Every structure is written in structure tokens, then in C-alpha cells.
Amino acid sequence: MSGGVPALRRGLSVLRLLAAHHGPMAASTIATSLQLPRSTVYHLLTELEVAGFVVHLPEQQRYGLGMAAFEVGSAYLRHDPLEKLAAPLLRRLVERVGHDAHLGVLHGRELLYLLRESPARPEGLVTAVGVRLPAHLTASGRAVLAGTGRAQLRALLSTGTPLQRRTARGPSSLRALHATLAAERRRGWACEDGEVSPGFASVAHPVLGPDGHAVAALSVTFRHLCDPACGQTWPELAGTVRRTAHEITRRLGGAPVTVGR
């Protein structure tokens, strides 16, 4: 049993390296960075790929984090630290803006809601703690996805079929989603209008962990008739959400940046 410990330690070092790197990496680069033989690195990558922690991108001859890595990260965040740190800040945000506020994390291809705070007069939303929605349709999901590399995003979301829609609005293909995320990076915050529920819109900003990557997103949802120019309509509200997201980030030990960092 003790002989397997170094292999486990090396496998974890591969995952940490991939997590810290902006985008997928070649096996040779991983071997050089970790000062390991290439044969060892290929063996580790094969085992991690079988377990779902690593995904191979054959066109680029590179490796990135797989679905299992996202699920483990999300499972950690569903426990105490993030929720306890964020809950009082969500309550203050709701008191300030008078709308529902949510905190969510990626769970595979979905956005999982961890926290929800409502104003004294709730606005009739169907979302609740534990609800999962397609990440590409929610402002929170896109705030997290906007910081993900293109190849990693393709590995995470590609299913061979059009992206799911709940209404007639929202991206229905990876190409459309990439265009939407690019626009939101330029703007500095994410929004959706009628893509999750008709008559409701949301603005969101990511929450970053100590490694500088988005680990969650904070959003505010409110009643609104669909407006194709939503990005030009709510900068003040988005700024309030951003300041609260930055405070959650600070409490987690992260460094605040915009969606388009």
C-alpha cells in the first residue's frame, strides 16, 4: 500500500498544476513543470482520464481538468466555508437592492444554487436552494464560464447536441455561447433576460477562490420584460453586485477581478 502513495502524490500534483494553469497543457509541459519522466506523466494522465478528473483534447494534444474535478470542487463549496462567509453579505445585498439574490456554483454543466435571500416582498421566483439550471442560460453560470478557456469550455459543455433552452431566448450552440461570453467579458459582468423564466432578468459577477479562478457567482434577479440591450441597462445594479462579490472573494482569500480578467 505504501508504494502507491508517491503515485497519488504525483497525480494530485498534476491536478493542481492543471488547475493553476490558464488553459489545457501538453503532457511534455506537465512533465517539465513537475520534473517527472514523460512516461510517468502519461501513465498518470491516463489513470486520471479514466477516472474523469482529466480530459484529453486530441486536436490540441493537450490535457485539461475533467468533469470529476469540477464536481469535487463544487462538492467542497457546498459545505461550510463559502455559504457561511457569503450568507450575511447576501442578506445585506437584498436589503440594499430590494431583489432576490443567489449564490451558485458549477455542478458539471449546470448551475447549482447554494444560497438564496429574498426581500420582504418576494417576487415569485421558482429558483431555490438546491435547484440546478443549465449554466449557459443563467447569469451566474455564465459569470463563471466566462473565465474558462475556450478548449476547456468545449470539453465541459460539448454534448454533440444543441444547448438546452427553457424559453425561446438564450444561446443554443457553443458558437452562440462563445459570442455571448465574449460580450460579457468585454462588459465586465454577466446578465440574462428571460432565458430562465419569462418576465425575469438577472445580473451576476463571479466569486474567486485563492487560486484566482471563479469558484461561484453572485446574482440578483428581478422582474423585467425582455430587452435585447440588457447589458446597457443595469450597470449600476451590476456594480452593487460586483462590490458584494468582491467582498465574498476577499473573505475567501481571493483577489477581486472582473469577469473579463
Average pLDDT over residues 50-64: 87
pLDDT surpassing 60 at residue 246: yes
Confidence band of 149 (pLDDT split at 50, 70, 90)? low
Q: Read off the pLDDT of residues 1-21 as tens digits, 9 standing for 90 and up.
A: 334 568 888 988 998 888 877
pLDDT surpassing 50 at residue 141: yes
* Domain range 71-252, its CATH number among 3.30.450.40, 3.30.2020.10, 3.40.50.10860, 3.30.365.10: 3.30.450.40
Residue among 259, 257, 103 nearest 191 (CA): 259
pLDDT of residue 146: 86
Task: Please state the pTM of the whole predicted model.
Answer: 0.65
Q: Where are the domains of the chain?
A: 2-65, 71-252
* Domain range 2-65, its CATH number among 3.40.640.10, 1.10.10.10, 1.20.120.1200, 3.40.50.300: 1.10.10.10
Average pLDDT over residues 41-48: 92
pLDDT of residue 74: 60
Cell of 197: 423564466
Backbone torsions φ then ψ of 245, nearest 5 degrees:
-60, -40
pLDDT of residue 218: 94
pLDDT of residue 108: 76
Average pLDDT over residues 30-56: 91
pLDDT of residue 94: 94
Residue among 51, 47, 77, 45 nearest 64 (CA): 45
Comparing 74 with 259, the larger pLDDT belongs to 74
Average pLDDT over residues 229-257: 79
Mean pLDDT of the chain: 81
Confidence band of 80 (pLDDT split at 50, 70, 90)? low
